[in-house]
């Protein structure tokens, strides 16, 4: 079974981001970029499926500017077999990514698309669901456990009340949550080997997809600053403040 793993290049999760002075978005100039952490988890899971003999080939795909190649090289160094870059200067929103992925699914015929539940830059949590809808495939989102059986996947899903277990027929789209696994670091020899693995470059036009954004960002704002707290001297003072000032008891 071929597994397709979409990996997004995002601002590294350790970086403290700044909003542009005209509030049009986040200033990413010169910031450290990395693979979206949920996509690292999806890549790791695909590699484990291959190590168990369930997956035969792992294809990583990234969409955006040419620098997404770096993200694909990381996936290849972790253990993906080959990669596809869909290169475009257009800002890609989830619907465009889902349409592009649908076109790649038609070319690659994977048995499973394993992807992040969410990109940590736009926090959309939409692409997997849209892709499953466009393909007419079953979806299992927020996976914290995946078992592949005979033509099916049994997936533990993180929901508010705990873990919900569902079974979906393959081919399917599965989006992964934080607790599924701990992604491996690529070893130096594997980083060197990854340099020789193939990356195919395509464009939205070649895939017959119009990636034009459908949504406009009106304004991006910082959350309000938290007010400083106060230290109380005694339990009596605390109770008095909770009653008098906060009005919560």
Given the rule CB under 6 A, which residues bind ligand AMP? Answer: 6-8, 36, 38-39, 62-64, 92, 94, 97, 115-116, 118-119, 122, 124-128
b/e map of 35-68 (b: 16 or more CB within 10 Å)? bbbbbbbbbbbbbbbbeeebbeebbbbbbbeeeb
3-state secondary structure of 47: helix
Residue 241 CB, shortest distance to ligand AMP, in Å, is: 41
Q: Which is nearer to ligand AMP, 39 or 81 (CB)?
A: 39
Q: Which of 128/194 has CB closer to ligand AMP?
A: 128
Q: Least distance in Å: CB of 149 to ligand AMP?
A: 24
Contact 41, 19 (CB under 8 A): no
Smallest gap, in angstroms, from Cβ of residue 64 to ligand AMP? 5
Closer CB to ligand AMP, 38 or 168, in the complex: 38
* CB of residue 175 to ligand AMP, shortest distance in Å: 7
Please check whether residue 37 is in contact with residue 146, taking contact to mean a CB–CB distance below 8 angstroms. Answer: no
Q: Cβ(169)–Cβ(152) under 8 Å?
A: yes
Closest CB to ligand AMP among residues 6, 156: 6
Is the CB of residue 145 less than 8 Å from the CB of residue 180?
yes
* Residue, CB closest to ligand AMP: 116
Q: 85: which strand partners?
A: 62, 201
């Amino acid at each position: 079974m071929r597994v397709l793993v979409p990996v997004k290049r995002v601002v590294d999760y350790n970086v403290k981001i700044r909003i542009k002075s005209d509030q049009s978005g986040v200033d990413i100039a010169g910031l450290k970029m990395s693979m979206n952490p949920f996509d690292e988890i999806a890549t790791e899971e695909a590699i484990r499926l291959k190590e168990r003999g369930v997956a035969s080939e792992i294809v990583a795909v990234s969409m955006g500017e040419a620098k997404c190649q770096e993200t694909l090289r990381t996936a290849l160094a972790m253990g993906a077999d080959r990669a596809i870059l869909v290169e475009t200067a257009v800002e890609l929103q989830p619907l465009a990514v889902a349409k592009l992925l649908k076109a790649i699914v038609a070319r690659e015929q994977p048995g499973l698309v394993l992807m992040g539940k969410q990109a940590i830059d736009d926090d959309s949590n939409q692409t997997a669901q849209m892709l499953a809808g466009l393909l007419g495939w079953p979806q299992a989102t927020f996976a914290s456990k995946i078992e592949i059986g005979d033509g099916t996947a049994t997936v533990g899903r993180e929901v508010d009340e705990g873990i919900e277990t569902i079974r979906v027929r393959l081919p399917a789209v599965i989006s992964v949550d934080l607790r599924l696994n701990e992604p491996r670091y690529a070893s130096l020899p594997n980083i060197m080997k990854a340099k020789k693995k193939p990356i195919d470059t395509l464009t939205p036009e070649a895939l017959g997809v119009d990636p034009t954004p459908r949504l406009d960002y009106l304004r991006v704002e910082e959350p309000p600053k938290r007010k400083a707290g106060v230290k109380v001297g005694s339990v009596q003072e605390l109770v008095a403040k909770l009653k008098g000032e906060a009005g919560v008891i």
